[in-house]
Amino acid sequence: MPKSQERCQEIREETRAKILHDSMLYFARNGFAGTRISDLAKHIGIGQGTLYIYFKSKEDLFREIFALTNSSKDTKALKMLSHLPISAKKKIQKLSGSIMARLAQDELFAAMVALNTQMMFEKKAFASAQTTYQSELYQLTEGIIRQGQQEGSVVAGTPVKLADYYWGVVYLYALKKLFTTEYEMISSEDLARVLLRDA
């Protein structure tokens, strides 16, 4: 029964995807230590045992979720932007606009950010060292910053510091979105001002 086999495989993939998706938000809101498997399973709508069919352990599940977090989708978009033949100021304005729009709409984005923050709090070395600084995301941002500094639109300072500052603010508002009920979102100009001399 090859047909049934494939169908089975499909179902497996679906269940697995559902677990990953639902767990990401739950872990993001509750943290690793603060998440009980029993609660998580209830939240997803499956039995506790089912989780262990798809993932070896709670830690394994978290690791996989965390891996998703560093997906390359964002990087790709940024790579395109950085190669456009426009001024750094324009690039930063565009980038800031799209980030703020995404923050406003996409809760999973906030979750991903939150998970990255959780990692700081956790002892366990889920990720192979914090490679954030060597990440493509940072390197691309630094590139734009350098361009801007040459063009005179970006403030002085080492590019790595400024890139870190910029993405730090993004993190900050992702966390606010996820955890605080009342807050006022900053504008894309506010974000851009982290880098731009005179926004």
Partner DNA sequence: CATGAATGAGTATTCATTCAT
Partner DNA sequence: TATGAATGAATACTCATTCAT
**Residues at the interface with DNA (CB under 7 A):** 1-3, 7-8, 11-12, 15, 35-38, 46-50, 52-54, 56-59
* Structure-token pair, residue 185: 């979102």
Q: By C-beta, is 7 or 161 nearer to its own copies?
A: 161
Contact between 121 and its own copies per CB under 8 A: yes
Which does residue 37 touch among its own copies, DNA, none (CB within 5 to 8 A, set by kind)?
DNA
Contact between 45 and its own copies per CB under 8 A: no
Contact between 7 and its own copies per CB under 8 A: no
- E strands in 43-157: none
Cβ at position 120, least distance to DNA in Å:
19
The only residue of 9, 57, 130, 134 in contact with its own copies, by rule CB under 8 A: 130
Cα angle 126, 132, 135; round to 5: 120
130 Cβ contact partners less than 8 Å away, ≥ 6 residues apart: 119
Give me the half-sphere count of Cα atoms (radius 13 Å) on the Cβ side of residue 78.
Answer: 21
Query: Are the C-beta atoms of 154 and 162 separated by less than 8 Å?
Result: yes
